[in-house]
Structure 1
Amino acid sequence: MSFLVWNCRGLAQPRTVRFLKEIIKQLRPNLVFLSETFANKKKIESICKAVFFNGCFVVESQRHGGGLTLLWKNEGGVEIKGSSNHYIDFEVCCDQVGRWRYTGFYGCPERQRRRESWQILRDPAAESQLPWCLIGDFNDMMHEHEKQGGRRQPRGLLEGFKETVFDSGLDDLGFIGSEFTWEKSRGTAT
């Protein structure tokens, strides 16, 4: 079972949709979690068909921001357990790994609202006995070296997020791909 997790920053532009199609073609994931889609359900459903996925669950964007999407292929059963503007909680059953719980997460981007994100992470931690994998964009970090440029991350936010991860029984598994989702002109000299 393979995942693609992408903070797409909007699916309104054709080049963004083309990029999504290309990366799905290259990586061939079974599940795709998208955050900050800025799109409605109709738009997402058309993208789902275009990338040949059978299942689609959408949390529509509010006003001019947000939006979450989970796309899946028919392989393995996906059962949605809950959702909000910040997460899609689901269970997956497949031959290779059995039944697992996953949560696609998008944390509050505003610093003053980080405690809301932390509480959202803590609430579902005890709800299931299944192995749990939490994926997405937390808009938070546990170490200062995870940030480049701009203001330093306040120590209280670093410690608060570390404490939340620990309290929830989570471990950081790392990632593959671009370290920073906001990179401008990635792959060029600028």
Structure 2
Amino acid sequence: MKIISWNVRGLGNTRTFLAVKDILREHKPHILFVCETKLKQVQMSNMGKSLGFDNCFSVGRNRMGGGLALLWNYESDISIISYSNHHIDVVVSEVNRKKWRCTGIYGHPKSMQKRHTWTLLRRLAGLFNYPWLCFGDFNEILNLNEKLGGNDRCLNMVAEFREAVTDCSLVDLGCKGYPFTWSNKRYGPHLIEERLDRFLGSKGWEQSSYEVFPI
């Protein structure tokens, strides 16, 4: 099974839509999670069909920002458990009766509100004992080497994220290719790049047969 997570920063943009189509054509994921769609629920539902998915569960934008969506096809049996402006939590049932959880996360972008993301993670961690895959844009780095350029990251905030991951018995599943998932799109000495998007898994996910792609 393939799963893709992507902060699209506005799915209504034609260039972004075509980029998503290219990614889907190349990887053919079974599940797609997108955040910052900046779309209303009806718009996202129509967008899901345009992207070729049978099912789409979305959380509409908040004013002109935010917006989440989880998309999948009929071959995946998915039950929605809970959702908010910052997460979609589901249980996946496979044909062999195996069940596992996947949770798409969009972390609070403002520094003073990031603790709410870690509180959410801890609450979600206590709900089920299924194997758990947690992914998305956490809006925070897990280690200091995940940031290039700009001012130093606040050590306390990085430590709080790392502590939440440990408390939830999750591990970072790593990444392949370019190590940064966000940039300020500037050049030279003004360039800042960070790894804000990632996949976290409960014990055993490192040896699983699932392919995961944070973009």
Whether TM exceeds 0.5 here: the answer is yes
| Structure 2 partner of 1:147 | 147
Give the RMSD, CA atoms, in angstroms. Answer: 1.7
User: May I ask how many residue pairs the two structures share in their alignment?
Assistant: 186
| Structure 1 partner of 2:32 | 32
CA distance in 2: counterparts of 1:27 and 1:174, whole angstroms? 18
Q: Pairwise mapping of residues 35-184 of structure 1 onto structure 2 (< 5 A)?
A: 35-95=35-95, 98-176=98-176, 178-183=178-183, 184=185
| Structure 1 partner of 2:209 | none
CA distance in 2: counterparts of 1:94 and 1:159, whole angstroms? 36
- Which protein is richer in strand relative to its size? 2
Kindly tell me: are residues 96 and 171 of structure 1, through their superposed partners in 2, closer, same or farther at Cα, counting changes over 3 Å?
farther
Equivalent residue of 1:12, what SS? coil
Kindly tell me: are residues 96 and 111 of structure 1, through their superposed partners in 2, closer, same or farther at Cα, counting changes over 3 Å?
farther
Q: Is the 8 A contact 1:33 1:71 kept in 2?
A: yes
Q: CA deviation at 1:158?
A: 1.3
Amino acid at match of 2:44: I
Q: Is the 8 A contact 1:70 1:88 kept in 2?
A: yes
Q: CA deviation at 1:151?
A: 1.6
Equivalent residue of 2:135, what SS? strand
Equivalent residue of 2:182, what SS? coil
CA distance in 2: counterparts of 1:97 and 1:6, whole angstroms? 28
Q: CA deviation at 1:42?
A: 2.0
Higher RCO, Cα 8 Å, sep 6+: 2
Amino acid at match of 1:22: D
1:10 and 2:10 correspond: yes
- Residue by residue over 1:59-112, the C-alpha shift from the partner in whole angstroms, topping out at 9 and shown as x without a partner, is 001012111000001112010000001100001112378211110001001111
CA distance in 2: counterparts of 1:139 and 1:74, whole angstroms? 31
Amino acid at match of 1:134: C
Kindly tell me: are residues 30 and 96 of structure 1, through their superposed partners in 2, closer, same or farther at Cα, counting changes over 3 Å?
farther
Kindly tell me: are residues 24 and 155 of structure 1, through their superposed partners in 2, closer, same or farther at Cα, counting changes over 3 Å?
same
Amino acid at match of 2:52: F
Which of 90-99 and 23-32 deviates more? 90-99
CA distance in 1: counterparts of 2:177 and 2:93, whole angstroms? 26
Q: CA deviation at 1:119?
A: 0.4
- Residue by residue over 1:40-66, the C-alpha shift from the partner in whole angstroms, topping out at 9 and shown as x without a partner, is 122212221122211100000101211
Q: TM-score, normalised by structure 2?
A: 0.82
Unpaired segments ≥5 residues, structure 1 = none
